[in-house]
Amino acid sequence: MLPIARSELVQIFRNRSVLVTSFVIPVAVGAFFIYQHDTFAAIGSLGYIAAIVMLTVSVFGLYSTTVTTLVDRRQNLFLKRLRSTAASDAGILTGLVLPATAIALVQVALILTVLGVVTGAPADVGLLAVAVVATVTLMIGLGLATAGITRTPEHAQITALPVSLGVIAVASWVGITGTESLALVKRLLPGGAATELVVQAWEGGAPLGDSLLLLAPTAAWIVVAVALAARLFRWDPRR
């Protein structure tokens, strides 16, 4: 697994398009929201800014990179060659997504740390960490599933677009309007409960038990994503 991860990390730094989605977009968005935090806090809240930053990194830095990487490795038969080695299927997939996952987690931690320094520390760092891990896990699962229906690396930008835009749109909807109305709908949509959980972790004030219940929709989506990935993922190039 680790040799695969090291090799994949080198490939990430050699691929300009992946570098843009993994580094430039998340960092630029994070810097923009932090610089304009007063404006966006007036629109939503500081927790909303934290949620948008976390989801932007998770979507563009992890989800999109996962889809593109897996499809590219499948298309050039690298996945097929790896399966002829002693590495297990789980070890192969873990090694391939580990670098992007580590990069995304580091980026989220650094950007949220800067946000906390500029605006004030979050109310519950532990709950915030739980929300980040749950969201990252969901994005990995969705990435695996989306890779299963994507034929070529060029098509990855198209097949990943609905999830990417959908999650960010839901996060903005929840972060700006709150969950006083249509709470169930907002929480059941991908990214909705995660956004609310980040807002509560940053702002505080909500009972811990109620906040932890917000993990249930995200956990359910993780199960759905993994099930779809198991059904749709292909090791040989799609025709």
Give the pLDDT confidence score for residue 238 in this predicted structure: 67
Is residue 197 one of the residues assigned to a domain? Answer: yes
pLDDT for 26-41, tens place per residue? 888 888 888 887 887 7
Q: How many separate domains does the chain show? A: 1
Is residue 130 one of the residues assigned to a domain? Answer: yes
> Per DSSP, which regions of 26-183 are E strands?
none
Give the pLDDT confidence score for residue 42 in this predicted structure: 81
Q: Tell me the CA distances in angstroms from 143 to 45, 147, 163, 201, 232, one per residue in order.
A: 29, 6, 9, 26, 11
Q: Tokens in use for 19? A: 């570098």
Q: Which domain holds residue 191?
A: 2-232
Is residue 237 one of the residues assigned to a domain? Answer: no
User: Which residues neighbour 27 within 8 Å (Cβ) at sequence distance 6 or greater?
Assistant: 107, 111
Is residue 238 one of the residues assigned to a domain? Answer: no
Give the pLDDT confidence score for residue 144 in this predicted structure: 94
pLDDT for 71-120, tens place per residue? 988 888 888 888 888 888 888 899 999 999 999 999 999 999 999 998 88
pLDDT for 51-75, tens place per residue? 999 999 999 889 988 998 899 888 8
Is residue 185 one of the residues assigned to a domain? Answer: yes
